[in-house]
Chain A
């Protein structure tokens, strides 16, 4: 999210140079309220103190010590980032399964499609060794059975490859999808699998699907992701 980093640091730089106003108490609570009142429906950028320190090129020990995340004013970020992201947007903005995706969400999805290998339904059939008659049948059946998921991007369904082993769905994926719940959209699921998780030493769940000893933890983390307030 290079555009975001620039915006954030410039919006806070003057305060920081004056001696550390980046935790202005009137700033963050106001942002939190803005979050709750905003119409945003997907991804919000937050950044760590360390990241802020390095992006501001400050002798950052004090800032880097901050073991918290700094909230970015959504309006401010959106206003600045819209200019830089508009041109790169995929032709279709209808990738969020019904709603309209905001700029930041679009850029997250774009990064996902760039970084995470996916297959089309046809390719799922090919890699699974299924016949040519109805090529999307395998992907459709597995999706219906809750064994795999897809994301809608540019009007087409894409199936992340990490779900498969030797062309067949990994059993752990079905368990994780069940734990993520029926209400999760394809992109919700993608977000869980592709986001570094502190309970996995900041590895992504998609990178741990080979590790049988981690399966139970992945299921727990999926449940936690689906119901983040349950423990509070």
Chain B
């Protein structure tokens, strides 16, 4: 069976959106392709949201014009970031193996947030994996969200952040 991205629930006016703030000066860790600078967004060129294996948890997805929104993944800790990226595809089975040679595909960047970012916080585990979520706040453009965060139940691991470069496009 091909696994497709689950759809976000229908948006109603009373949807309770939990907002978090990523404070100015916060530090983030990011594992990424050396093709991009540490603070660059992956343009997700040529990928389709419908293709299950074409992206990561919250990417790719198109903006209202049909152009994929550039995205970046980061974590508040090295572990949170690694789990979301380097080890993203490791199967949830007992004692999985991971080829260490794959590590050489990633570089590590440490980032500092230069202005406070408003982040949509996904608190319901069932809603944590969908490429449709980032489209959700579109009708509430005034929120000017910068991304989505999903906090581990064990907070010492840290939070994973997904940031989209779409707020600028939206407010034009």
Cα-based distance from A231 to B31 in the complex (angstroms): 11
Q: Is the CB of A47 within 8 A of B56?
A: no
Q: Is the CB of A213 within 8 A of B91?
A: no
CB contacts (< 8 Å) of A29 on chain B: these are: 77-79
Min distance, Cβ B58 to any Cβ of chain A, angstroms: 11
Question: Per-position contact with B for A194-214: 1 when CB-CB < 8 Å, else 0?
Answer: 011111111000000000011
Stretch of B14-22, B140-148, B151-159 contacting A (4+ beta carbons < 8 Å): B151-159
CB contacts (< 8 Å) of A229 on chain B: these are: 31-35, 85, 105-107
Q: Is the CB of B89 within 8 A of A213?
A: no
Q: Is the CB of B79 within 8 A of A198?
A: no
| Nearest chain A residue, comparing its CB with the CB of B52 | A199
Q: Is the CB of A25 within 8 A of B77?
A: yes
Count B interface residues, CB 8 Å: 54
| Nearest chain B residue, comparing its CB with the CB of A221 | B53
Q: Is the CB of A47 within 8 A of B153?
A: no
Q: Is the CB of B92 within 8 A of A198?
A: yes
Instruction: Decide if B99 is an interface residue (CB 8 Å cutoff).
Output: yes
Q: Is the CB of B100 within 8 A of A43?
A: yes
Q: A44-B100, A48-B94, A202-B93 are in contact. Are A65 and B153 (CB under 8 A)?
A: yes
- Measured as residues with beta carbon below 8 angstroms from the partner, the interface class of chain A is 35 or more
Within 209-232 of A, Cβ neighbours of B (below 8 Å) are at 213-214, 217, 220-221, 224-225, 227-232
CB contacts (< 8 Å) of B157 on chain A: these are: 23, 28, 68
Min distance, Cβ B20 to any Cβ of chain A, angstroms: 20
Instruction: Decide if A167 is an interface residue (CB 8 Å cutoff).
Output: no
Cα-based distance from A225 to B89 in the complex (angstroms): 9
Q: Is the CB of A198 within 8 A of B98?
A: no
Instruction: Decide if B59 is an interface residue (CB 8 Å cutoff).
Output: yes
Instruction: Decide if B11 is an interface residue (CB 8 Å cutoff).
Output: no
Question: Per-position contact with A for B75-96: 1 when CB-CB < 8 Å, else 0?
Answer: 0011100110111011111111
Instruction: Decide if A130 is an interface residue (CB 8 Å cutoff).
Output: no
CB contacts (< 8 Å) of B56 on chain A: these are: 231-232
CB contacts (< 8 Å) of A231 on chain B: these are: 42, 44, 47, 54-56, 59
| Nearest chain A residue, comparing its CB with the CB of B53 | A220
| 6 interchain residue pairs of minimum CB distance | A229-B33, A220-B53, A229-B105, A51-B94, A196-B91, A40-B100
Known contacts A33-B78, A231-B54, A232-B32, then 19 further A-B pairs from the complex at CB < 8 Å, ordered by chain A residue: A1-B95, A24-B156, A25-B77, A28-B79, A29-B78, A32-B82, A41-B101, A43-B97, A46-B90, A47-B95, A47-B96, A48-B94, A67-B125, A197-B91, A199-B52, A202-B93, A229-B107, A231-B55, A232-B42
Q: List 12 A-B contacts (CB under 8 A).
A: A1-B95, A5-B95, A32-B78, A32-B82, A36-B108, A43-B99, A46-B87, A51-B94, A199-B53, A220-B51, A228-B86, A229-B33
Q: Taking beta carbons and an 8 Å cutoff, which residues of A are in contact with B?
A: 1, 4-5, 23-25, 28-29, 32-33, 35-36, 38, 40-48, 50-51, 65-69, 71, 104, 108, 188, 191, 195-202, 213-214, 217, 220-221, 224-225, 227-232
